């Protein structure tokens, strides 16, 4: 896949992050956060963990304590800073 040259030149203001939750490969929902909890974002930054407490997602779904989940952190981009 050819890398886009225009995306190398465009910088965005990061206004937060969204933490996506997957259970058994199925997308369950997300929560918004202001903090970055890992160095690598998106697909390559996925982590698998067992929940230590219940999590209520933005879509009101509840993922119970003890569930094995995969999480993915994605940036929420604001205005263009440099083009």
Sorted by where each begins, the domain ranges of the chain are 13-82
34 vs 13: CA distance, rounded Å: 13
Are the C-beta atoms of 10 and 79 separated by less than 8 Å? no
17 vs 47: CA distance, rounded Å: 16
Residues in the chain: 83
Name which of 82, 55, 81 is nearest 66 in CA terms.
55
Instruction: Encode pLDDT of 5-63 as tens digits.
Output: 555 677 777 888 999 999 999 999 999 999 888 888 888 989 999 999 999 999 999 99
| Predicted local distance difference test score (pLDDT) of residue 20 | 95
- H helices within the chain, ranges in order? 5-9
Residue with tokens 């890992």: 38
13 vs 18: CA distance, rounded Å: 15
Structure tokens, 36? 């970055």
- Residue 2 pLDDT greater than 90, yes or no: no
């Amino acid at each position: 896949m050819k890398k886009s040259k225009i995306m190398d030149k465009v910088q965005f203001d990061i206004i937060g992050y969204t933490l996506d939750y997957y259970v058994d490969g199925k997308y369950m929902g997300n929560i918004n956060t202001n903090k970055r909890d890992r160095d690598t974002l998106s697909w390559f930054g996925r982590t698998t963990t067992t929940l230590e407490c219940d999590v209520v997602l933005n879509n009101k779904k509840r993922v119970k304590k003890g569930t094995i989940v995969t999480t993915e952190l994605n940036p929420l981009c604001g205005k263009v800073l440099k083009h």
